[in-house]
Amino acid sequence: MPTKFTTARAAALARTLAGLACLSTAAACIIRNPNLPHGMRVTEAGRGSAPSLPPFEVSDEATAQQLERARDQGNAVRQELDWVRAHQAAASAEMAVGEYRVAYTVTPALSYAEPGADGRLVRHDPAPGEVHLGIAIRDAADGRVVPGLTVRASLVDATGRVLDTRPLPFGYYPVLHRYGDNLRWPMDAGPLTIRLEIAPPTYWRHDPSNGDRFRDSTTVEFTNVAVTPAALARVAQAAAEPGADTAGLTLAMNEGAALGRSLNEMANNVAVSGGATRAGDYIAYVAFERSEAYWEPNGHTPDGLSLRYTIEADESLAHNAHLEIGMRDTLTGRFLPGMPPQATILDAQGRVVGTYEPHFMWHPWIHHFGMNFRIPHSGHYTVRVHADMPRYRRYGRLAETMFAAPLDAEIPNLKIVTGQK
């Protein structure tokens, strides 16, 4: 016989629920970082969004050693930046802003190639009087290049007048990947301010601890930027010397080698299986893991990008495997962003299991394109990878003819074990 729901019981239950609600609300309202400084901060090079260190801690996705592999890649990038600033830039500076370290380089204008309407590479020479403005954006924690950002640059004179404003797309450079463009630098306008607006990237992120990063928009202002014809001529002359690029290219290869060590770690010690193959100007690598959760964009808030951790991957086996694909260039071995692949998985009998289009995923020590999917059973499978050639510009003499064809590669006999990570 059910008991009566008396007023006293209702009051007691209501008090309990109210208390629980208060506790939950308090928990949900805890500021993400109560100590994070807000607003802009003045630096020697100008001013920018107050800097903060994104998470860089041991997690279920990254051991201490694996985090150091990310740092190795970042250190190599830093050395490339230092070399570009010392040997190629007529003007440059760097500062810590937001979750990044942002540097600008003004170099002599660069020729470049990019796919035309018919898909063939078309070479473009710079116009007279142009310089090349490049923005190198690195992760403040590990120093790696941050791909997939939307960067807008404005040149502002001393009176506050905007002389030029444009998006700066990502480009492939033989040394130090940057967001950049050729533009006319108004030499007679005096020292300028380079203002940058960096929107938070909307790609997925691995790692419940370290993946919670890059939520905020970032503003950077490099002030008193002066570019002189004499400085440009000096670096152009140095660049024309035989073997001028060799040292820089070696540094870029160091970055590629550091990435290679991360790949070996993934294939041999972490993933269920992994493999790589060379195809034209590309090296394609594929790895399989068990399904895992990740951060995905979940709209915007007044504070910036909202991220949601997809715990569904932990709560069920609707997806029971995780596919990871990446591309590297054969010149330096560095990661190639901006090439979303298609992967067709075939079973041991050659039957197509499915075709998948993984998303770019930030990873604490090895970026890749990835996704969870469901496979009927564990076993050995073949992966056919296709990716259209990258749409971004290839800058410089060494790169102008690279990536002229799409990537098509096949990696056989990869093991998939179903489950969740």
Partner 1 sequence: MHALRTTLRPALRRATATLGACAIAAATLAAPAAAQRYRVYQWDTPMAGWAEPALWNAVVAKSNLDYSHFGKTVSEQGVTAHSAEFEYGLSDRFSGAVYADFESAPGLPLRYTAARVETRYRFGDRYQRIFDPAIYVEYSIPRAKYDAAQDLEARLILQRDLSDFRLVLNPIVGRTFSNEKSSSSSGGGSTSSGSSGSAEHGGGSEMVGTEHAGSRLSGGFAGGLYWRRYHLVQPGIEYYNQIGPLGQVLALRDQRHALVPTVDLRFIPGLDWNLGLVVGLTPGSDKYTVKSVLSYEFQTIRPANRAP
**Cα gap 162→176, rounded to integer Å:** 28
**Cα gap 179→362, rounded to integer Å:** 18
Binding status of residue 267 toward partner 1 by CB under 8 A: no
Phi, psi angles (nearest 5°) of residue 52 = -150, 155
Instruction: Using CB under 8 A, pick the residue from 87, 359, 384, 421 that binds partner 1.
Output: 421
Binding status of residue 37 toward partner 1 by CB under 8 A: yes
Binding status of residue 35 toward partner 1 by CB under 8 A: yes
Q: How far is the CB of 173 from partner 1 (least distance, A)?
A: 27
Q: Give the E-state strand segments of 63-169 in sequence order.
A: 91-97, 100-108, 112-115, 121-124, 130-139, 150-156, 162-168
**Cα gap 351→348, rounded to integer Å:** 7
**Cα gap 267→289, rounded to integer Å:** 10
**Residues between 78 and 107 that touch partner 1 (CB under 8 A):** 96, 99
Instruction: Using CB under 8 A, pick the residue from 123, 166, 308, 397 that binds partner 1.
Output: 308
Q: How far is the CB of 64 from partner 1 (least distance, A)?
A: 14
**Cα gap 113→392, rounded to integer Å:** 9
Q: How far is the CB of 294 from partner 1 (least distance, A)?
A: 12
Span near partner 1 by CB under 8 A; candidates 74-82, 207-215, 230-238, 356-364? 207-215
Instruction: Using CB under 8 A, pick the residue from 46, 48, 54, 115 that binds partner 1.
Output: 54
CB 51 within 8 A of CB 41: yes
Instruction: Using CB under 8 A, pick the residue from 317, 352, 380, 413 that binds partner 1.
Output: 317
Kindly write out the interface string for residues 119-148 of this chain, putting x where it contacts partner 1 by CB under 8 A and - elsewhere: ---------------------x--------
Binding status of residue 322 toward partner 1 by CB under 8 A: no
**Cα gap 179→392, rounded to integer Å:** 10
Compare residues 238 and 317 and give the one whose CB is closer to partner 1. 317
Count how many Cα atoms sit within 13 Å of the Cα of residue 410 in the half-sphere of its side chain.
Answer: 7
Instruction: Using CB under 8 A, pick the residue from 129, 314, 348, 391 that binds partner 1.
Output: 314
Q: For residue 13, which amino acid is it?
A: L
Q: Name the residue among 44, 56, 49, 368 with its Cα closest to residue 199.
A: 49
CB 342 within 8 A of CB 325: no
Binding status of residue 12 toward partner 1 by CB under 8 A: yes
Residues within the interface to partner 1 (CB under 8 A): 1-4, 6, 8-9, 12-13, 16-17, 19-20, 23-24, 27-28, 30-37, 51-55, 59-60, 96, 99, 140, 208-209, 212-213, 290, 308-309, 311-312, 314-318, 320, 418-421
